[in-house]
């Protein structure tokens, strides 16, 4: 198999691992230190959690990628007829799909986190509640 095809395959596997570990680290940081993120604003909290998750995922992918590549070496590098353009297309498609799943996962985690931080107002105290016509006519 040509060297550039092997490079595309390794890049695809390492990028998917990085994005998966990023999503897992972001969720773990959000859940474990939920009370500490209340001190920061919403934007600062999100950026701090993303930065921490990126650092943790980068460290973890360095150690984990060698193990995964050794386990998948036979099945990933078994097609000798694969061209470089096809391998590049497969890598781009795989990375794009993994990135989309990661972004959707981070958005869902953030939505749940914000919902837990700001509880819903009781219906009796809501400003939008409309009074029945008979009560409104007595005023």
Q: What is the pTM of this model?
A: 0.76
* pLDDT by position in tens, the chain (length 139): 778 888 888 889 899 999 999 999 999 999 888 778 778 888 888 899 999 999 999 999 988 888 887 787 777 777 778 888 998 999 999 999 999 999 999 999 988 887 776 666 566 555 666 666 676 666 5
**Vertex 66, ends 63 and 72: CA angle to 5°?**
140
């Amino acid at each position: 198999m040509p060297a550039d095809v092997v490079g595309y395959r390794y890049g695809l596997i390492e990028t998917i691992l990085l994005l998966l570990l990023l999503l897992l680290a972001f969720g773990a940081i959000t859940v474990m230190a939920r009370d500490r993120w209340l001190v920061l604003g919403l934007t600062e909290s999100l950026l701090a959690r993303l930065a921490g998750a990126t650092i943790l995922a980068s460290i973890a992918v360095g150690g984990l990628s060698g193990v995964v590549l050794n386990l998948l070496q036979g099945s990933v590098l078994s097609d000798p007829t694969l061209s470089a353009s096809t391998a590049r297309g497969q890598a781009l498609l795989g990375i794009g799909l993994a990135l989309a799943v990661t972004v959707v996962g981070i958005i869902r985690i953030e939505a749940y986190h914000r919902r837990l931080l700001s509880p819903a107002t009781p219906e009796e105290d809501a400003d939008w509640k409309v009074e029945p016509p008979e009560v409104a006519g007595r005023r």
